């Protein structure tokens, strides 16, 4: 993996995380999240693909969980308290980009539990 690719991938992932945070900052409720789920899902989908290519498998796994859950929301499922979980997830994603070996297990479990409840 070239240094140039890593530089571009890091910038792209950071931009996508910032985009998620911007969208979430305009949300006040689960209904707002539902209305913006497609926009958020576009970002999680990009991160899901890019993160593992640059050695951030944990971030890719979290993004895959978020991506799957957001697709369920886009299909009309309302998730109570999703806003808080997404805000925490975005913050944790951002931290994982600056701290090597940042542990995302706690937020992955939280998102996994929320997503499982939707099935």
Residue 91 or residue 100, greater confidence: 91
- Supply the pLDDT for residue 1: 66
Kindly tell me if the per-residue pLDDT of 119 is higher than 80: no
Q: What digits encode the pLDDT tens for the residues 1-27?
A: 688 888 999 999 999 999 999 999 999
Q: What digits encode the pLDDT tens for the residues 20-65?
A: 999 999 999 999 999 999 999 999 999 999 999 988 999 999 999 9
Helix (H, G, I), strand (E, B) or coil at 112: helix
Nearest Cα residue to 97 out of 43, 42, 60: 60
Residue 12 CA to residue 6 CA, distance in Å, equals: 10
The fraction of the chain above a pLDDT of 90, given in percent, is: 81
> Which residue range(s) make up the domain with 23?
3-117
Kindly tell me if the per-residue pLDDT of 81 is higher than 70: yes
Q: How many domains does the chain have?
A: 1
Residue 77 CA to residue 98 CA, distance in Å, equals: 33
- CATH number of the domain to which 86 belongs: 1.20.120
């Amino acid at each position: 993996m070239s240094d140039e690719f890593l530089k571009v991938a890091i910038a792209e992932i950071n931009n996508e995380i910032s985009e998620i945070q911007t969208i979430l900052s305009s949300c006040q409720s689960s209904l707002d999240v539902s209305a913006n789920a497609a926009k958020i899902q576009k970002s999680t989908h990009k991160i899901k693909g890019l993160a593992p290519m640059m050695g951030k498998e944990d971030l890719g796994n979290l993004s895959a969980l978020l991506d799957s859950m957001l697709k369920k929301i886009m299909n009309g499922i309302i998730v109570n308290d999703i806003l808080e979980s997404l805000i925490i997830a975005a913050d944790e994603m951002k931290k994982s980009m600056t701290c090597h070996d940042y542990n995302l297990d706690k937020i992955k479990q939280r998102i996994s539990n929320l997503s499982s409840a939707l099935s």
